[in-house]
Amino acid sequence: MKRAPLGPGAILVLALLAGGWFLQRGVAQEQNVYLQSRLFQEVLDHIADRYVEPVGRGDLYDFAIEGLIRELGDPNTSLLNVDDYENFRIQAEGDYGGVGLEIVERDGYITVVGPIPGSPGARAGIRAGDRIVEVDGTSIRGWSSQQAVQILRGPAGSSVEVQIQRPAVETPVEFTLERARIQLRSVSYATLLEGELGYIPLDLFNETSGQEVRAAADSLRSQGARALILDLRGNPGGILEQGIGVADLFLPQRLTVAETRGQSREQNQALRTGSPDRYEGVPLVVLVDRGSASAAEIVAGALQDHDRALVLGSTSFGKGSVQTLFSLSGGNVLKLTTARWYTPAGRSIERAVPPGESVEEAEPAATAALSLDGQFVIPPDTVGRPRVQSMAGRTLVGGGGIVPDLIVLADTLSAPEQRAVRALYREAGRYNTGVFNHAVDYLQRNGDRNRDFQVTDRDLDLLYERLAANGFGVDRETWDTAARFVRFQLESEIALQGWGEGLQFQRRLPHDRPLLQAIELLTGARTQDALFARAGSVPAEISPPEASGGDEPE
């Protein structure tokens, strides 16, 4: 049966009916919001007037705001009062008196993302993943990161007592930190390895990071570097624009570095490079680990997605959200998460955690091993993660954080050594202070002329005696079992205090498995594609025969 077409009159009736339905729906939604607002005010009035204990109306509004923010479940969203905002501003500008810890609130705990190199927190031995549970005897469980920053910061030269809950260590560890003027720097040194490989450790992102990396790379190239290693391990992030600037040094013009995605149109944007690849054709390796976060992850993700660098190491931290500051009445400021970061290939940088689990449950510290430098080595977390393709067709792993092309974990201590070192960690505050003081005394006794110094068994005996005289609670048998770890720590501290980070790096290099792997791969690769082939992460355009060769194809 043939259907008659709808006439203009019928269409007008339908349009009016549909419009009326949408209008009614909009009115209903407005009425619902009005009723909810009225309900809230009624509840607040009853509590203020009739609750068994008196509660001020101002406090009730504060409770409501705090509860609203808490229910978002986002540790990076918070309401900053005037003092909180000033502390936040000082921290962002990177020149202040404090202990030098990059922190974030996670699962109700103030968690260390990473210590700033050379800061009091770094010298004391505080590590990424440590939880700060007390400051000067006050529990800070459930505090925001801004509250914790405020209590940790203070005049340079003043002391603060910090109690740390360290993964896989049963009892909290106490540290006494002397606050110092924290002046952030990005590249503390750069050096040539094997005579032709430029090594640039980028410790954090501040106002001059792009300039510092460029200066270091240019200097290394002038010295004969034909390949570069950009070390982002332990880099907690920092100024976003500088992260974009560093990526811009290694990528062609007008390529996407990262994207933000949020609820509104202005929150959805792509950040792109503005200049040509300054080091075109130079093979590049980027090193990351669990301490690499935020801007460091944006750089690593962009270079990985665009097939400009081989990313090597262990999965990064997973800090991939964007915060915007909104000025409010009374001088208050709302720091609100408004978007998330995505790599050019569409991977979310924000670490994905299974529903109902915390980060620690998703990556249980009890299964972590200890490396010679005292870091926790967590097994790879790639099972069940989504796969995406790089711009050249290489398979990359998504699901939060930056998963390296080649996972290379640090060498771990033996089981007895790990048990002994965990016992040292229970005395970490006293132990790390003792190592620092002993290193200074060693240099005063022996001078700083012998760069090839060796720590002897007698040196370890003297250190133990010094610690025991100050109440050190580790027995001698446990100390002897941990001797390899202690020797490494003491040698590293002496090198740092006597000759700076450059010599400390040289002394630690023979034990740095990820970096040694990067050196080995770069030694036999003259192009980026050859580097991918040697690592087994092959772009689609490289044929299997060429990829299987160990040397660069002619």
How buried is residue 157: exposed, middle or buried, by Cβ count under 10 Å (0-12/13-18/19+)? exposed
Cα gap 292→553, rounded to integer Å: 33
β-bridge pairing 284-288 and 310-313? parallel
Cα gap 446→498, rounded to integer Å: 11
Amino acid at 330: G
HSE-CB of 28 using CA atoms within 13 angstroms:
6
Token pair of 42, please? 């009624």
Direct distance between the N- and C-terminal alpha carbons of the chain, in angstroms, rounded to an integer:
74
Question: Cβ contacts of residue 494 below 8 Å, gap of 6+?
Answer: 439, 442, 443, 453, 455
Q: Give the number of residues written for the chain.
A: 554
Range list of β-strands (E), 249-353: 256-262, 269-272, 284-288, 310-313, 321-327, 333-342
Token pair of 253, please? 């013009």
Question: Cβ contacts of residue 299 below 8 Å, gap of 6+?
Answer: 230, 232, 243, 246, 247, 286
Q: How many CB atoms lie within 10 A of CB 155?
A: 9
Cα gap 299→442, rounded to integer Å: 40
Amino acid at 85: Y
Cα gap 530→410, rounded to integer Å: 25
Active-site residue, from 289, 305, 307, 381: 305
Cα gap 425→357, rounded to integer Å: 26
HSE-CB of 416 using CA atoms within 13 angstroms:
8
Active-site residue, from 144, 231, 319, 321: 319
According to DSSP, the residues that pair with 193 across neighbouring strands are: 197
Cα gap 7→296, rounded to integer Å: 62
Q: 275 catalytic, yes or no?
A: no
Among the listed residues 93, 66, 91, 86, the one whose alpha carbon sits nearest the alpha carbon of residue 77: 66
Q: 335 catalytic, yes or no?
A: no
β-bridge pairing 284-288 and 227-231? parallel
- ∠ at Cα 428 (424, 432), nearest 5°? 105
According to DSSP, the residues that pair with 335 across neighbouring strands are: 78, 325
Q: What are the start-end ranges of the H helices in 447-500?
A: 457-469, 476-481, 483-499
β-bridge pairing 284-288 and 269-272? unpaired
Cα gap 303→551, rounded to integer Å: 23
Sheet with 310-313, edge to edge strand ranges: 191-193, 197-201, 227-231, 284-288, 310-313, 406-407
Cα gap 57→132, rounded to integer Å: 33
Q: 2 catalytic, yes or no?
A: no
Active-site residue, from 78, 209, 294, 537: 294
Active site residues: 294, 305, 319
